Chains A and B, each alone.
Chain A
Amino acid sequence: MLTAEEKNRLAEIFRREEIRELTVATTQRISRETGLSIRAIEYFALEKGIVPRRYARSVGTFTLDGQKKLLQSRVMVVGLGGLGGYVLEELVRAGVGEIVGVDGDVFDETNLNRQLLAGERNLGGRKGEEAVKRAAEINGAVKVTGFSARVEHLPAAAWDGVELVFDCLDSIQARLFLEEKAESLGVPVIHGAIGGWYGQVGIVWPGNRLLTKIYREKKSGIEQALGNPPFTPAVAASYMVALGIKYLLGQSERENALYFFDLENMEFEKICF
């Protein structure tokens, strides 16, 4: 992330200013002075054992090395609606360094009951652009690239270096496309889907065709009748991000499983294939 010369320069600044903890204000100032990115400065600090304060409550869970790994990671979030809004929010706050956000839609009033990125102020706004704005408000270390396009129409370059994909789509056809695309790239997919009080999450490992298995020729699910209430997306999204971060930290077991939850009855089922 840094050249030897840049490291020396930062080491000099950290020594001179006796930096023991890194605040947002200090990071921003050093970035202005040196022209280096916030992310690079945070990464340097972590290498020196200094935890940027914004991650102070995370490192107990992730470890210092884990936090470094997250800052170096590049993931894609496909769909920036109910699931995607919360997934993006948590990834940005976690400090996952590069996020490619994909959604061809604009916000409308039916999104307001559940979509974190939707507000009265940005109705009609492109979801891909709103995602970039939201991320910039929260964590300047994270680079979000927004694509206002359907996943089927993404330019090839959008996939460069992506090591994990979050399936936050609402169309079964698009999900099956994503499964095939990710498989061709050898990249796992963190799948999530919701409808009413219910939801499911799981990891699609390259080759296991989990989505083909559960959706087969189906066009839609129970969400057509039940809709999507305010709380279900946040639950599914948090399970997804937990699965995703475990993967990025190298702590995932490769198993063909789907987790199904029912918030009406507070039930949780692990389904093995």
Chain B
Amino acid sequence: MKVEIRLFATFRNGRFKKEVWDLPEGTKVKDVLDRLGINPEEVAILLVNGLDADPERVLQDGDYISLFPPVGGG
């Protein structure tokens, strides 16, 4: 199945902006994070298809994941 990965801000450093990955059925969001080398703790906003989601979420063909790091300065 094909899943699109969209990275934002500093998550792009040394990675990419957007890629489509071919993943086996049953892949969870946390498996993708693992492959990206991103600790779930580092993620502030995790979206699947533009909606709030959990690392345990099982991905479906055609899904897209968006990941944002925390921003807290003023």
Contacts and interface: CB of A to CB of B under 8 A. Distances in A.
Contacts of A265: 17
Interface in A200-221: 200, 213-216, 218, 220-221
Contacts, number: 90
Contacts of A269: 8, 66
B45 A258 contact: yes
Report, as a range, how many residues of chain A touch the other chain.
Answer: 35 or more
Interface stretch (B19-27, B28-36, B47-55, B56-64): B47-55
Contacts of A214: 44-45, 70
B26 to A, nearest CB: 26
Contact of A171 (B8, B47, B71, B72): B72
A contact face: mostly helix, strand, loop, or mixed: mixed
A221 B8 contact: no
B73 A218 contact: no
A107 B20 CA distance: 47
Q: Which of B41, B68, B70 has the most CB of A within 10 A?
A: B70
A227 B73 CA distance: 8
Report, as a range, how many residues of chain B touch the other chain.
Answer: 10 to 19
A241 B47 CA distance: 27
Given A81-B74, A218-B72, A222-B71, A262 B45 contact: no
Nearest to A218: B70
Contacts of A225: 10
Contact of B71 (A194, A233, A272): A194
A79 B70 contact: no
Contact of B72 (A213, A220, A260): A220
B51 A272 contact: yes
What 5 pairs across the A-B complex have the smallest Cβ distances?
A223-B73, A221-B72, A170-B74, A221-B70, A198-B9
11 contacts: A170-B73, A170-B74, A175-B72, A215-B70, A220-B72, A221-B73, A223-B72, A227-B73, A262-B8, A271-B50, A271-B66
